[in-house]
Structure 1
Amino acid sequence: MRLDKYLKVSRIIKRRTVANEACDAGRVEVNGKVARASYDVKVGDVIKVSLGSNEREYEVLEVLEHALKEDTTKMYKSL
């Protein structure tokens, strides 16, 4: 799954366009490297998102095409 879509489906970022813009601006890193929106997310990846003064890290536990609000917590773990 594309990185921008994963960020939206997992509800880490609310909108896919915002996720895409954050990737283009270099504010999203995967495994320590700046990642493009087209990066293919895999289980075990560590995603670091820097928006404003907030900087958060998540470990990918599961990749789901569609997720209900209750299922999003199973998709990642905050570090």
Structure 2
Amino acid sequence: MRLDKYLKVSRLIKRRTMAKEVADQGRVKVNGQTAKAGTNVKIGDKLDVQFGQKNVALQIDRIEEKVKKEDAATFYTILKEERIENN
């Protein structure tokens, strides 16, 4: 599945266009490599996503085309969350 679609379906980012912009700005890494919106992701991949003042590291657990809102959190496991300090 494309990275931008995964971010939207898993509800990490609410809109696919926003997911595409975030990826194309270089704020998403897949397995340590900066990824574009069209990068294919698979189960077991590790993502690092920068959301404003926060970095989130997570692992992909499930991939499906459609998901109910309440099941979206089962698509990934958060490995680490950290705030970015402004000096």
TM range (shorter): over 0.9
Does residue 22 (structure 1) correspond to residue 34 (structure 2)? The answer is no
User: RMSD over aligned Cα, in angstroms?
Assistant: 0.7
Residue identity (%): 49
Counterpart residue type for residue 29 of structure 2: E
The Cα of 1:73 is off from its aligned counterpart by: 1.6
Partner of 2:45: 45
Partner of 2:85: none
Listed as ranges, the matches of 1:3-22 within 5 Å are: 3-22=3-22
User: Could you tell me how far apart the structure 1 residues matched to 2:59 and 2:18 are?
Assistant: 20
User: Aligned residue pairs: how many?
Assistant: 79
Note the residue ranges of structure 1 that are not aligned, 5 or more in a row: none
Greater Rg by CA: 2
User: Could you state the TM-score of these two structures normalised by the residue count of structure 1?
Assistant: 0.96
Partner of 2:58: 58
Partner of 1:68: 68
Counterpart residue type for residue 45 of structure 2: D
User: Could you state the TM-score of these two structures normalised by the residue count of structure 2?
Assistant: 0.87
